[in-house]
Amino acid sequence: MTYTKSTVLPVSPEDAFALLTEPERLRRWQTVSARVDLRAGGEYRWTVIPGHVAAGTFREVEPGRRLVFGWGWEGNADLLPDTSTVTVTVTPTEGGTRVTLEHDGLNEEQAASHAEGWSHYFERLEEVATRGDAGPDEWSAVPAELDELTSAEATLAVLQGILRNLTVEDQPKQTPCSEFTCHDLAEHLFGSITGLGSMAGVTVTNPGSGPLEHRVATMAAQAIEGWRARGLDGTVPSPAGGEMPAAMAAGILSVEFLLHGWDFAQASGQEVPVSDEVVDYVRAIAEKLVPGSRERGAFAEEQTPAADANPLARLAAYAGRTPVAA
């Protein structure tokens, strides 16, 4: 079966094509993370929502006009990567650009489920083309199955949205981490992601330039992909010496992303759009990690949260933080 979807975007064909292919643009409406080698024969890997990774190979690439790529899902025996075909055409029209998607090679059940997915993301594509960012994706807010890696992807999505709104004026602002401004915290985060990736056997590469959101997103995607390839069984070298369970090490990603997302948000006056379910899951991880790390000076003493504090503010207080306003 073939599923077809079309919409008109108020942008040029070149901008429409960029929204469909550039990782920085894809993260604003369709993916948590995206790796793209945009050429015929090049591969892509998109974490669409936590725990669901679409992957395949580009078959035809005509910039600003047409894109053909194989489609499927990692770990889905019914529709593996490259086992169906997506064709996207981009044509100028009155009022902007018409984007038409045809998804071929699906059975009836697959066509129905993908119709729901493409409809959802085309609505977000229209939003990003109209106002620059579609905002948090409700489908990513609460993964169907929370584990150390889906939690990392969900909290990464939260962190990226906060980083995307930081400005140059925010760089010298103090965060709830007394030793870190926003600039300092970004450098710390680069180091953390690099170290956590190395624990999974991955060499994480810092792009070295570009917006902070782009650099963190690119590095975090490398680390998480490395952990997915390694798996969570067994032990890995601990930063404190000796060994630690691999699952616990992978869990540090969620703690880093969510707590530092809160830090950046506090410094820049933003809200943190995260579900209580994800916060509760990360809190359970933190309660295993923080006490020992506190003894080594990595966390300050637990603080008393405000009576009306939400779950994330309570987690931050547990980790030794107080709101900037306080």
- Per-residue pLDDT reduced to its tens digit, 295-310: 787 888 999 999 999 9
In angstroms, rounded to a whole number, what is the distance separating the alpha carbons of residues 181 and 165? Answer: 16
List pLDDT tens digits, range 15-35: 999 999 999 999 999 999 999
The whole-number pLDDT of residue 292 equals 84
> Which residue carries 């759009």 as its tokens?
273
Tokens 């066509």 belong to residue: 111
Q: Which domains are seen in the chain, by residue range?
A: 2-131 (3.30.530.20), 142-318 (1.20.120.450)
- In tens, the pLDDT along 265-278 reads 999 999 999 999 99
**Strands across the sheet containing 84-93:** 2-9, 96-104, 84-93, 66-71, 52-62, 43-49, 33-36
The 3-state DSSP class for residue 274 equals coil
How many other C-beta atoms are found inside a 10 Å radius of the C-beta of residue 265?
25
Question: Quick check: 325 pLDDT over 80?
Answer: no
DSSP class of 307: T
Query: Can you read off the two tokens belonging to residue 134?
Result: 């579609």
Residue reference for tokens 């603080």: 303
Residue-wise pLDDT for 112-140, tens only, equals 999 999 999 999 999 999 999 999 999 99
Tokens of 163: 């980083």
Question: If you write DSSP's letter for every residue of 52-116 in order, what string do you get?
Answer: EEEEEEEEEEETTTEEEEEE-BTT-TTS-TTSEEEEEEEEEETTEEEEEEEEES--HHHHHHHHH
pLDDT confidence of 154, banded at 50, 70, 90?
very high
> What is the average pLDDT value for the chain, to the nearest integer?
95
Are β-strands 2-9 and 96-104 bridged in parallel, bridged antiparallel, or unpaired?
antiparallel
Instruction: Convert the pLDDT of each residue in 196-228 to its tens digit.
Output: 999 999 999 999 889 999 999 999 999 999 999
* Pairing outcome for strands 43-49 and 235-237: unpaired
Amino acid 149: pLDDT: 98
pLDDT at position 160 is: 97
Q: What percent of the chain has pLDDT over 70?
A: 99
pLDDT in tens, 60-105: 999 999 999 999 999 999 999 999 999 999 999 999 999 999 999 9
Two tokens at 15?
A: 């901008």
CA-to-CA distance for 65 and 53, rounded, in angstroms?
26
In the chain, what percentage of residues exceed pLDDT 90?
Answer: 91
Three-state SS for 39?
coil
Q: Are 303 and 320 in contact (CB under 8 A)?
A: yes
pLDDT category, 293, cuts 50, 70, 90?
confident
Distance CA 71, CA 236 (A): 34
Predicted confidence at residue 161, as pLDDT, reads 96
Nearest to 87 by CA among 106, 71, 98, 103: 103
Q: Which residue stretches of the chain are H helix?
A: 13-21, 23-26, 108-131, 138-141, 148-164, 182-199, 212-230, 246-268, 276-295, 311-318
